Amino acid sequence: MPFLRSTSSKVTMLRNVPLFKGLSQRQLEQVARLADELEVPAGKRLATIGDTGHELFVIVNGQATVKLKDSRTVRLGPGEFFGEMSLIDGGPRSATVDAASPMKVLVIGHREFWELLNEAPPLVGKIMRTLSQRLRDAEEAHTA
């Protein structure tokens, strides 16, 4: 169930999410407008490898487990995000992601994702940096 709360209390919550650090008040209001807040129970599957992906998830609270193609698992926590790969290239989900604990996440749809990158350019660099780290991680695992 998405929360319904005022934009100002959502902006206050967004200020504490590291991904959004450095955004202006106006940019945070755009994030608040474009992202839905969702409570997720432990064990819920949020992305399935091979499926078409329609959303980016930003973790506000809790932990997620990413099960990679090579069977390795990676833990993601508050301030981290997942689901960007499918939104960027339109390809299938590269990993399966489950809630490892009860979580609060922000869900940003495909259209809203691209709008957000236009509205809040600092996010472009942060997402690119993480994408590059994930690529290196995959390369290292492949060559290890």
Distance CA 86, CA 84 (A): 6
- Residue pair 35/23 in contact (Cβ under 8 Å)? The answer is no
58 lines the binding site for ligand CMP (CB under 6 A): no
* Secondary structure E strands in the chain: 36-40, 45-47, 55-61, 64-68, 73-76, 81-82, 95-99, 103-109
- For the bound state, the minimum distance from the C-beta of residue 66 to ligand CMP, rounded and expressed in Å, comes to 4
Query: Binding of ligand CMP at residue 62 (CB under 6 A)?
Result: no
Within 10 A of 64 (CB to CB), how many other CB atoms are there?
A: 24
Residue 116, interface with ligand CMP (CB under 6 A)? no
Cβ proximity to ligand CMP: between 62 and 83 the closer is 83
Which of positions 77-96 make contact with ligand CMP (CB under 6 A)?
A: 82-86, 93-95
To ligand CMP, the closest distance from the beta carbon of 72 in angstroms equals 8
d(Cα 64, Cα 68) in Å, to the nearest integer?
A: 13
Q: Which of 23, 47, 60, 106 binds ligand CMP (CB under 6 A)?
A: 47
**Cβ-based nearer residue to ligand CMP, 9 or 139:** 139
Between helices 122-143 and 110-119, what is the axis angle to 10°? 120
Q: Which residues bind ligand CMP (CB under 6 A)?
A: 47, 53, 66, 68, 74, 82-86, 93-95, 97, 134, 137-138
